Homo-oligomer: A and B are copies of this chain.
Amino acid sequence: MSNHVYKKIELTGSSPNSIEEAVQTAITKASQTVRNMRWFEVVETRGQIVESKIAHWQVTIKIGFTLDDE
């Protein structure tokens, strides 16, 4: 983190299995349009319940990426 400028975007990823997988799902999707992603911050963790089971984890993250001349 030297002399750069970063932008943060907010995404919600989901997964039937784990918090970690839900975060990776969001990052993978973002990588289709955003390059140079550097870090993420978890801002909310929720999920859906179906028949008393966790059906999906839904994790909202902020992703920071470089805006510098690339």
Contact = CB atoms under 8 A, between A and B. Distances in A.
A58 to B, nearest CB: 6
Q: How often does this chain occur in the complex, in copies?
A: 12
For chain A, the bracket of interface size reads 35 or more
Contacts of A3: 14-16, 56
Contacts of A64: 12
A46 to B, nearest CB: 5
Nearest to A26: B5
6 contacts: A20-B57, A24-B54, A27-B53, A29-B67, A39-B46, A42-B45
- The list of the 4 closest CB pairs from A to B, nearest first, reads A31-B52, A5-B29, A42-B45, A6-B12
